[in-house]
Structure 1
Amino acid sequence: MIDGDTAAEPGGQEGARPRIGVSSCLLGEPVRYNGGHCRHRFLTDGLGPYVEWVPVCPEDEIGLGVPRETLHLERAGAGGEAAPRVVGAKSGADRTDRLAAVADAHRADLDSLDGYVLKNKSPSCGLFGLPVFSDGKRVDGKGRGAFARRLVELHPELPAEEEGRLSDAGLRDHFVERVFAHARLRELFAPGWRPRDLVAFHARHKLQLMAHSPDAYRALGRVTAGAGRGDPARVEAEYRGGFRRALALKTTPGRHVNTLQHAFGMVSGLLDDARRHDMLASIEAYRAGEVPLTVPAALIRHHCAAEGVAWAAEQTYLAPFPAGLGLRNSLVRG
């Protein structure tokens, strides 16, 4: 865990340090059923310096001990409609309700989290594709761990991923982007926030919201415009929900190109022909899958800084997370 309340971002931005729940074994804690761990280097060495971890091991927390009996998902009932139960592979002891209750026990922490990373293939923490058994035979491959299921029920808009899926560059970039955006949103709505704070926040996130959903950007703009006249609690709830849902939508190379072109249009009049050509060429190279998103984004930031264009330094789209994470570097085609 890294102490401190803020984390520096590129371009001089300061933001709240994200608080991320995590399966304890992924940080190297020896709490696996066999006494081992599954230390994930991107989490500990890459993301770790920029976030505050909130580790939880549901199986250890309910007192199963280390080492312990392995668990698996067992289909409950003939129809298969009920959620599978988590049972001991040898004893058949049902651990489902106690594992799910761990999420409720941590509800105070969950309310202040900006994301969660769970151990894949775990009957307590797995989010996707767990095998489900009945009478010793595999009957389904779409199970979800008991703790993970309850976690998602309690916080359906919380960014949550399995560590195995973080090897996919697109999923990893999207998850980290959402986590840092949620942290900034949490910081915005600290007690005593003012309508002008929301106006400034919305302006900073203009391009980022447009890249995910232009419709959501416009809808949130209407919420922002009425913030000074509406009930603060209602305004906060509407903006929180709309912002989180917008960032949950996956963007596309085409949306990125449109957003980059919008940013270019806001500064092109200040540039000479050579620099305009460079910026447009970098956007087209990104569209063609020849360079990663970091190239046109960095070029826009560079030229805006040279011309003293203040808005670029504030746009979260151009620096959604610390540059030291080395993300947004995969090649894609629009």
Structure 2
Amino acid sequence: MALEKIPVGVSQCLLGETVRYDGGHKRSRYITDQLSQYFEYYPVCPEVAIGLGTPRKPIRLVATDKGTRVQQNDDPSIDVTEPLADYGRKMAGELSHLCGYIFMQNSPSCGVYDMKRYGANGYPKDKDGRGLYAQQIIDKLPLLPVEEAGRLNDAGLRENFITRVYAYYDWRVNVEPSPSAKGLIDFYSRYKYQVMAHHPESYKTIGRLLANLKSRPIDDICNDFIGEFMYALGHKATRKGNTNALMHLRGYLKNQLDTSEKAELGDLIENYRLGYVPLVVPMTLLKHHLLKVDDPYLQRQSFWSPHPEKLGLRNV
């Protein structure tokens, strides 16, 4: 039986649709050929949706004394700021079920990071902009994992985004529909070491938050938890963080391994810390040994497989 795919928004041009201002597309084969095995896409081109047509005159972000505007390059009197913002707010409501969003970089409607803004004189002013449609989606759906297609070429950013998508999907399926203390604890028990690897400060904060589940309504605690949890996973897991989690998990084996096995595992963890081998190397041996413990708590840790192993995200 095929696994259910995760709902993810995507800039329409990334699927090969000819909706760009020049009548072309920006198809990403990684998105269409690999991630499509796991994600169900909800494609949007906000510029076409507000009636700009294809092909069309290009637009850009313009810094004014009234804030950032979106105007046609060669005619500032053609301003589409309000239509784009209105459409973004509308789609944030219609796409509230999404568990991730992949935007097209360098787009005045969809770019997320370091977007170039122009001054009224037509010259570049700074890179403090964000696409207006993307801004509305991010503002209205603050927990939603988002990324730009171009940044998915970076192995660390790619793995972090997909990890967040899977974790958020898990939450929305298993906790959000019916919040309970048991559901919350069961959920976090699977992600404890993953949070440790991503952001130790959040690991401590969440521990304090969950220390007394009777102190406040469970809905309030769940809201605080998922905000801190997604914030934690928003930090890339570092070698230091992963090594810390590996060392903690190794502690469960202190009475299970002989001297040579302990040395072998310790050497692999150290080689990973130093950057000589990828994470999958010590992880594979650690998982092998933990089977001897027969502990459901350990076996259910998302740290082992936070995303499909076929994607090979930990092989670099």
Normalised by the length of structure 1, the TM-score is 0.87
* Mapped partners of 2:43, 2:308: distance in 1: 22
Give the corresponding residue for 1:13.
none
How far residue 126 of structure 1 moved from its aligned partner, in angstroms, is 0.9
The structure 2 residue matched to 1:108, chosen from 93, 98, 102, is 93
CA deviations on 1:13-47 (whole Å, 9 max, x unpaired) are xxxx4322111111122211122211112211221
Give the direction of change, closer, same or farther, for the CA distance of 1:140–1:190 in structure 2 (3 Å limit).
Answer: closer
Q: Which stretches in structure 1 are left out of the alignment for 5+ residues?
A: 8-16
Give the corresponding residue for 2:8.
20
Alignment of 1:136-151 (within 5 A): 136-151=122-137
**Contact 1:312–1:318 (8 Å) recurs in 2:** no
* Mapped partners of 1:306, 1:109: distance in 2: 48
Alignment of 1:5-44 (within 5 A): 6=3, 17-44=5-32
Give the corresponding residue for 2:143.
157
Say what the alpha-carbon RMSD is for the aligned residues. Answer: 2.1
SS at match of 1:244: helix
How far residue 286 of structure 1 moved from its aligned partner, in angstroms, is 0.3
**Contact 1:188–1:198 (8 Å) recurs in 2:** no
Alignment of 1:245-260 (within 5 A): 245-260=231-246
Give the direction of change, closer, same or farther, for the CA distance of 1:302–1:290 in structure 2 (3 Å limit).
Answer: same
* Mapped partners of 2:274, 2:178: distance in 1: 46
Give the direction of change, closer, same or farther, for the CA distance of 1:309–1:122 in structure 2 (3 Å limit).
Answer: same
* Mapped partners of 1:24, 1:103: distance in 2: 15
- Count of aligned pairs: 314
AA partner of residue 55 (structure 2)? P
Alignment of 1:69-148 (within 5 A): 69-77=57-65, 82-92=66-76, 93-133=78-118, 134-148=120-134
Q: Which stretches in structure 2 are left out of the alignment for 5+ residues?
A: none
Give the corresponding residue for 2:152.
166
CA deviations on 1:241-260 (whole Å, 9 max, x unpaired) are 12111112233211111111
Identity level (%): 38
* Mapped partners of 1:227, 1:187: distance in 2: 21
How far residue 208 of structure 1 moved from its aligned partner, in angstroms, is 0.5
CA deviations on 1:100-132 (whole Å, 9 max, x unpaired) are 222211123443222211111111111122222
AA partner of residue 73 (structure 2)? A
Q: Which has the higher contact order (CA 8 A, sep 6+)?
A: 1
* Mapped partners of 1:257, 1:238: distance in 2: 28
**Contact 1:202–1:224 (8 Å) recurs in 2:** no
2:206 is aligned with 1:230? no
